[in-house]
Structure 1
Amino acid sequence: MKATWRADLIAGAVVAVLLIPQSLAYAMLAGLPPQVGLYASLLPLLAYAALGSSPVLGLGPVAVLALMIAQALAGLPAGVSAEAGALVLAAEVGLLLAAAALLRLDALSSLLSVPALRGFENGATLMIAASQLPVLLGSAAAGFTLPALASSAVHGGIGFTSAAWGAAAVALLLLSRRAGSRLLARLAPLLLLVVAMALAAFTPAADGVAQVGALPALALPLALPPLDAALWLHLLPSAALVALMAFVSSLAVSESLAQRRGEKLLPAAELRGLAAANVVASLSGGMPVAGSFSRSILLHEAGSQSRWTLVFVAVFMALALLLLAAPLAYLPKPVLAATIVVAVMGGFTLRHYGEAWRYARAEGLLMAAVTAAVLLWSVGAALAIGVAGSVALLIQRTAQPHVARIGRVPGTQHFRNVERYAVECQPEVVGLRIDESLVFTNARGLSDAVLARVREHRASVGQPQRVLLLMAPVNHIDVSGLVALQALHAALQAEGLRLEFSEVKGPVLDRLRAVGWLERHDVSLYLSHHDGIQAGEHALRPSQADHDAPGQL
């Protein structure tokens, strides 16, 4: 602490400058009073600092979650306020993440592939910007999808004074980003809010422009969220989606920065930290929170060395609670909307779609489908499509095991695919490489794939006596894979061929030996594929191979 507190203090001050306007703006985006964003940026940071693992995760309200929260709160039962719904939502998100941490389900982050995640984030970015256009223009239009916005815009009207405020705010923010000064770009949103509040308070320039209005005293409300069983049950599906998105996006940010900094990240600790932060948010008048990419990058660039930085951010946010209550009443809403639009659109890019389409069209289509679902349907449907699409593509890719026929590169002991290299093959042995683990998704296709390669060998090289499988790429064989190997052994035996293995990895070999599979089927083992090709009738029997166990891969 003594060696890093100065760097952490400076980083905390820099990030607090960005977090103050973002907290206000994202609370408004979620349909909540601005002070809720400030509350969510105070004690939750301390909870994550105590239990999380990343020194640079910029925790707090985030734009994507704000859009999801807004949709979740739009359908609240009659008589339930948005603030009460946000408290319950934060509590459920925290408890779901805590349960996932207790059950060690940090692997849930893999449910969303990168194309699905990018498609969702880009779609949410566009939808957030679109949802703020009516506020920028002083229109009464509202909605969380493009069709809903278009429908309400017909009767929404435009306030020209509000539009002028919004346009001016957007222009000034964009100019600050192009000025070439990082410090100016970071301070611009806060400076803009201060100037706008001063103009609205002391001049008639904001007459007729919607303002935030008088806020209650910004005293931190410490209390349990509403304990209404019907409300908790109503919000539970939305909470599950928010929890998944919060963890996946936060982990993506913290992992990328940990790699850049050469640090060790603990996904289980991230789950615990996010869980604690959201539970604390529900107890202190906040809203669901997650890691922000822009604030995390800023923490990294500002020199954050430990999670004490978040403690300093919380201290500065506490000062904001004391100083901002009266001035915030004069803040023009078009200016707040402008900070949202410029902030979120700064991370939007079409490049990812082109790259995904050129590399793997199916994943490019999934990215586009998720984006379209956010814009035209709902964020819940988009996440469901992203998860289902990611799983479906995984199953489709692994439904048939890739089995390559391999031969020796002349003058070496290296073996490569006969379809890609000029290699040597011996007539009496079919060399094959299994390129993936053998599990229930692909096990049924193993025999057909191997027998097809055997027929190719017969047609091009000669009549074989043995089939030698190079098993180095196989990391796991489940029960379905074991049954498939047994079926393959029987099929090869029926054709008068002997099944043999080379370069079996240690953990896989341990499982095979645990059930006596190798001995029961008299399968020969080789430490290297080259040894297996050369050995012929001098193959090691399973009992002999026991002496070579330390040499297995």
Structure 2
Amino acid sequence: MTADTVSGRWQADLMAGAVVAVLLIPQSLAYALLAGLPPQVGLYASLLPLLAYAALGSSPVLGLGPVAVLALMIAQALAGLPAGVSAEAGALVLAAEVGLLLALAALLRLDALASLLSVPALRGFETGATLMIAASQLPVLLGSAATGATLPGLALATAQAGIQPLSLAWGGAAVALLLLSRRAGSRMLARLAPLLLLLGAMGLSAFTPAARGVAQVGALPQLSLPLGLPLLDGALWLQLLPSAALVALMGFVSSLAVAESLAQRRGEKLLPAAEMRGLAAANLVAAVTGGMPVAGSFSRSILLHEAGSRSRWALVFVAGFMALAMLLLAGPLAHLPKPVLAATIVVAVLGGVSLRPYREAWRYARAEGLLMAAVTAAVLLWSVGAALALGVVGSIALLIQRTAQPHVARIGRVPGTQHYRNLERYAVECRPEVVGLRIDESLVFTNARGLADVVLAHVRAHRASVGEPRRVLMLMAPVNHIDVSGLTALEELHAALRAEGLWLELSEVKGPVLDRLKAVGWLERHDVSLYLSHHEGIQAGEHDLRPSLADMDAPGQL
């Protein structure tokens, strides 16, 4: 690598770090307040945790730090803290538990946990959380002290608390300016607008009486990293553990989804296990440096990618610029009107809301579309934890439902070729003496019980439409795995076909599956013929001198 190349990479990472730090400053403040924490907690979570991820993670563009969805989950987790325990102390315990759970999962190589939440469930959760986040900021925009964990409760509390016109004016003006910056056509202006708006609002509030009567962030404590262990209270740790597990699962799944999508765009290889280790380290560091649980942000990750980030050094530069901002902005931040900060949250999160995934899911697979909508409704009307649990359970239930009945297609030869296709979809040729079938999925405990019934139904259909068969030849190419339940189902199928006077034969069995069958001598024990290709198996009928089972004296002659 030449010196110019190295210099170019450093410059790209430095520029990407500066651009993302501009976005991260207002988001860190806003998401900390959204979680019910002092604003400086968001800044602390944006410093050393980034360095921990940079050391152990694998993505050069994952924008780590406080995120909106986790902020909402954190707020609900901290809502029931025991008397005498501050929200800051609870957030540190929560971050420590998230880090330890992810570290344990990484040690046990459980990065496959990301598959527990299907894409429809994840998108439904994110959309619901986004809408709930925006709704939670409406009272701040209106100058109301109303709070609520669900949409109906929040609406009722806001209606009872009333509105402050001056706060509404500040918040409405901030929303309008942010929307205008997005429509101006300049991507750079849209990125800088939140920071410029916060700086302008701080100046206007500090030097004019225009913000008198409007809630402000207030004086911040000295911004120095409060190093130390989280509160060691067994009862508190036990109380927050279920919430920590949900935050850990959601943080890892969403971070991995963002990192994988960008890795595909960049043609890079992502290591899920390394991502889990990096996320675990970042949360553990947040727990001892006054922070809050952190994860990857889609908006900041996209920004890192578009700004030209080449390596994880970009995150180091983000942390450096954040430290500089902490030193320079501690005083002015006290004058920041809260409605303006709420406006940056509302505009940022609602910008990513779209009904298109719901329409596409409904058209493609209605059950998954319903799951997406149900998870969104659960976030808005029930709770974040219940919605996440519904997403996991629903994803697993749909998987079981799809695999509960093995799909077996009756196939025939496409005329003039050696290709075999489903006779319900193509005009094919079928030979009367052999029933050609194709099993389209692995044979496992969820679907194995129905195998014999499905095959016998196809045999009866073949007799009625083509002729009396002597053999059943099953194309096994799509079968990647046969567990013990599947092996038992094959034995039951063999016995059922034998009772019908038919031979069972297999074609195109994959190597790993064949190794397992040979290990127990299954093919030899049941006298099952095996063919390298399905066409070879069909043609073998022309020279097959084996008698029909119905013509044999006794089954023992097999």
With the length of structure 2 as denominator, give the TM-score of the two structures. Answer: 0.96
| Contact map agreement 1:524 1:540 (CA 8 A) in 2 | no
Please list, as runs of the form range in 1=range in 2, the aligned pairs for 1:129-168 lying within 5 A after superposition. 129-168=134-173
Match of 1:474 in 2: 479
Distance of 1:88 and 1:540 partners within structure 2: 75
Residue 538 of structure 1, CA deviation:
5.5
1:211: how far off? 0.2
1:36-435, aligned counterparts within 5 Å? 36-435=41-440
Equivalent position to 2:456, from 435, 451, 459: 451
Aligned length: 541
Equivalent-residue separation in structure 1 for 2:400 and 2:543 (angstroms):
40
Q: Which amino acid aligns with 1:114?
A: V
Match of 2:20 in 1: 15
Give the Cα–Cα distance (whole angstroms) in 2 for the partners of residues 41 and 213 of structure 1. 20
CA distance in 1, matches of 2:526, 2:311: 57
CA distance in 2, matches of 1:349, 1:283: 38
Aligned residue type for 1:215: L
208 and 105 in structure 1: CA distance in 2 versus 1, 3 angstrom threshold: same
Counterpart in the other structure of 1:464: 469
Query: How much has 1:206 moved relative to structure 2?
Result: 0.3
Aligned partners of 2:196, 2:336: CA distance in 1, in Å?
12
The superposition leaves residues 43-99 of structure 1 with CA deviations (integer Å, 9 ceiling, x where unpaired) of 000000000000000000000000000000001111110000000000000110111
Identity of aligned residues (%): 86
> What secondary structure is seen at the aligned counterpart in 2 of 1:536?
helix
Q: Residue 525 of structure 1 contacts residue 539 of structure 1 at CA under 8 Å; is this kept in 2?
A: no
AA aligned opposite 1:522: D
Cα distance, 1:407–1:207 mapped onto 2, change above 3 Å: same
Q: 1:428 to 1:282 in 2, by over 3 A?
A: same
Tell me which amino acid in the other structure corresponds to 2:310.
Q
Is the 1:88–1:225 Cα contact (8 Å) retained in structure 2?
A: yes
What amino acid is aligned across from residue 389 of structure 1 in structure 2? G
Secondary structure at the aligned position of 1:423 is classed as coil
* Offset, 1:370: 0.4
Deviation of 1:151 (Å): 2.5
Give the AA of the match of 2:369: G
Shift of 1:536: 2.0
**What letter is aligned with 2:378?**
A
Q: Deviations over 1:265-316 (max 9, x none)?
A: 0101000000000000001000000000000000000000011100000100
Distance apart, 1:539 and its partner CA: 7.1
SS at match of 1:56: coil
1:3/1:517 CA distance change after superposition, 3 Å:
farther
- Whole-Å Cα distance in 2 between the matches of residues 294 and 433 of structure 1? 45
Match of 1:497 in 2: 502
| Alpha carbons 1:526, 1:540 under 8 Å: kept | no
Matched residues in 1 for 2:8 and 2:544: separation? Answer: 62
* 1:290-346 deviation line (CA, Å, top 9, x unaligned): 000000000000000011100000100111121111111000000000000000000
Shift of 1:3: 4.7
Match of 2:442 in 1: 437
* Structure 1 unmatched ranges of 5 or more: 542-553
Letter in 1 for 2:17: G
Cα deviations by residue, 1:425-455 (Å, 9 ceiling, x for unpaired): 0001100000000000000010011111111
Q: Secondary structure at the match of 1:155?
A: helix
Deviation string for 1:109-138 (max 9, x for gaps)?
011111111110110011000000000010
> How much has 1:6 moved relative to structure 2?
0.7
CA deviation after TM superposition for structure 1 residue 471, in Å: 0.4
Change (3 A) 1:60 1:518: same
Contact 1:141–1:152 (Cα < 8 Å) also in 2: yes
> Given residue 473 of structure 1, which amino acid in structure 2 is its aligned partner?
P
Residue 315 and residue 456 in structure 1: after superposition, are their counterparts in 2 closer, same or farther (change >3 A)?
Answer: same
The residue matched to 2:160 in structure 1 has which SS?
Answer: coil
Unaligned runs of 5+ in 2: 1-5, 547-558
Amino acid corresponding to residue 357 of structure 2 in structure 1:
H
Letter in 2 for 1:26: Y
Aligned to 2:335, the other structure's residue is in SS state coil
**1:144, distance to aligned residue in structure 2 (A):** 1.9
Where 1:213 maps in the other structure, the secondary structure is coil
Distance (whole Å) between structure 1 residues aligned to residue 273 and residue 544 of structure 2? 46
Distance in 1 between the 2:117 and 2:396 partners? Answer: 8
**Equivalence for 1:32:** 37
- Provide the C-alpha distance between the structure 2 equivalents of 1:125 and 1:539, rounded to a whole number of angstroms: 66
1:549 is matched with which residue?
Answer: none
Aligned residues of 1:109 and 1:248 also touching (Cα < 8 A): yes
- Taking the aligned partners of 1:19 and 1:70, their CA distance within structure 2 comes to 20
Deviation at 1:157, TM superposition (A): 1.1
Q: Deviations over 1:182-204 (max 9, x none)?
A: 10000000000000000110000
CA distance in 1, matches of 2:136, 2:323: 30
* Secondary structure at 1:483 match in 2: helix
Paired with 1:182 and 1:539, the residues of 2 have a C-alpha distance of 72
Asked whether the equivalents of residues 524 and 539 of structure 1 are also in contact (C-alpha less than 8 Å), the reply is: no
Please state how far the C-alpha of 1:537 moved relative to its aligned partner.
6.8
What is the rounded CA distance, in whole Å, between the counterparts of 2:386 and 2:545 in structure 1?
56
Shift of 1:155: 2.1
